[in-house]
A and B are shown apart, each in its own frame.
Chain A
Amino acid sequence: MYEFDFERPTSVADAVAALGTEEAQALGGGQTLIPTMKQRLAMPAKLVSLTGIAEMQGVRRNDAGELCIGGGTTHATVAREARDAYPALADLASHIGDPAVRNRGTIGGSLANNDPSACYPAAVLGSGATVVTSNREIAADDFFEGMFTTALEDGEIITEVRFPVPEAANYQKFEQPASRFALVGVFVARFSGGVRVAVTGAAEEGVFRWHEAEKALSSDFGPGAVEGLSVSADGMIADLHGSAAYRAHLVGVLTKRAVAAAAG
């Protein structure tokens, strides 16, 4: 990879300052960025590691009852520490990548990257979570702006993600056989005010909400409610691992399964 300067600040303020220079880039767990840099597809002049910032670590409940996860918290930590408070989220985290990847990869890094096949975007959008950054709060519905694109500005760091905890939820991932990323992943969450369904892996524009299913499930939260519903194959990813029609079909299958698991 290309040479770069490396900094490992211990506070968000220092990190923001370090990121203020030209061609500086934040480094979360590096599980996507480092392989990208090895291919010389990214060439930051400076990498600012966020792994040394204690205030961005950990899982807690706030006064509003939200589950708050520090932006630098690893998937393994979420899998372990969110288990009681938000089992569906912990379960999702426990199936990202592999154990060694989960020990380094972070929620903030995953969300900032917004890989169209990543799992966390489905949980964040499906939960209606709030992404807290170094200078503002962004609602999940406003955060994801398409494949590898988010509302984040240059130098803006995800410091925390606040998840409202649903009454019931489940995430179903159908793995792409090689990468083990989601070929399609569906996150279903039932709140007192309604149901949210978020789909990852399937669409060229990245994670999206399946409003039709949400509406049906909000009035009848059972697998039967989505029987017969389908998403359009238009805009779905088509590649070696599955056609657009196949992905659209899987959205229906996985939604049904997620609802059955959440309702069960």
Chain B
Amino acid sequence: MPRVTMTVNGKPVSGEVEGRRLLVQFLREDLDLTGTHVGCDTSQCGACVVHVDGHAVKACTMFAAEAEGADVTTIEGIAAPDGTLNAIQQAFQDHHGLQCGFCTPGMVMSAAALLAENPKPSEAEVRDYLEGNICRCTGYHNIVKAIMAASGQDVNAIAAE
């Protein structure tokens, strides 16, 4: 089997993979990085979003072999080494942007990609950017709020009681 080598969360890794091995399988099964989830088989739900060379991609729709030489970041790789949550993770907790937690890794990775491209997105821009991330628990309200809060915007006025 061909060998693939890449950097995952800052660490060099390699492994033998069949051609059909998906990046998400390589991460979950070979590297035991089970934070990246699989929620569908039509590339729509976004539970598997990771960053490859800084870009958000669906790890279920990319072969591991295509990540040869790439720099991959997963949900396990974005908190500080001491475990301190990053600004997006913290905002998701502060604003109750997750319930069951299954879509959350993909949501957070998509949010990180959005804020890298657009540091102060409007509500509409956040909603538009999340087109490929499905959440069944939150009705999206607190996810959108959390992402806007993570971007430094004041969200206190949103749906104030």
In the complex, A touching B (Cβ < 8 A): yes
Give the segment of B62-70, B74-82, B86-94 that binds chain A: B62-70
CB distance A99 to B114 under 8 Å?
yes
Residues of A contacting B42 in the complex (Cβ-Cβ under 8 angstroms) = 35
A3-B18, A8-B68 given; A180·B55 CB < 8 A: no
A34-B62, A35-B41, A49-B66 given; A100·B57 CB < 8 A: yes
Residues of A contacting B113 in the complex (Cβ-Cβ under 8 angstroms) = 99-100
CB distance A103 to B56 under 8 Å?
yes
Q: A38 is contacted by which of B41, B46, B110, B129 (Cβ under 8 Å)?
A: B41
Interface residues of B: mostly helix, strand, loop or mixed? mixed
Q: From residue 179 to 232 of chain A, which have CB atoms closer than 8 A to chain B?
A: 179-180
The verdict on A92 contacting chain B, using a C-beta distance below 8 Å, is no
CB distance B61 to A5 under 8 Å?
no
Residues of B contacting A179 in the complex (Cβ-Cβ under 8 angstroms) = 44
B90 CB, nearest partner CB in chain A, Å: 22
CB distance A30 to B61 under 8 Å?
yes
- Cα separation A122 to B49 with both chains bound (whole Å): 29
Which residues does A use to contact B, with CB under 8 Å? 1-6, 8, 30-31, 34-35, 37-39, 47, 49, 51, 76, 97-101, 103-104, 179-180
Which residues does B use to contact A, with CB under 8 Å? 2, 18-20, 22, 41-44, 46, 49, 52, 55-58, 60-63, 65-66, 68, 110, 113-114, 129, 131-133
Q: What are 13 A-B interface contacts by the 8 Å CB criterion?
A: A1-B20, A6-B20, A8-B65, A34-B63, A35-B61, A49-B66, A99-B56, A99-B110, A99-B132, A100-B58, A103-B56, A103-B57, A104-B62
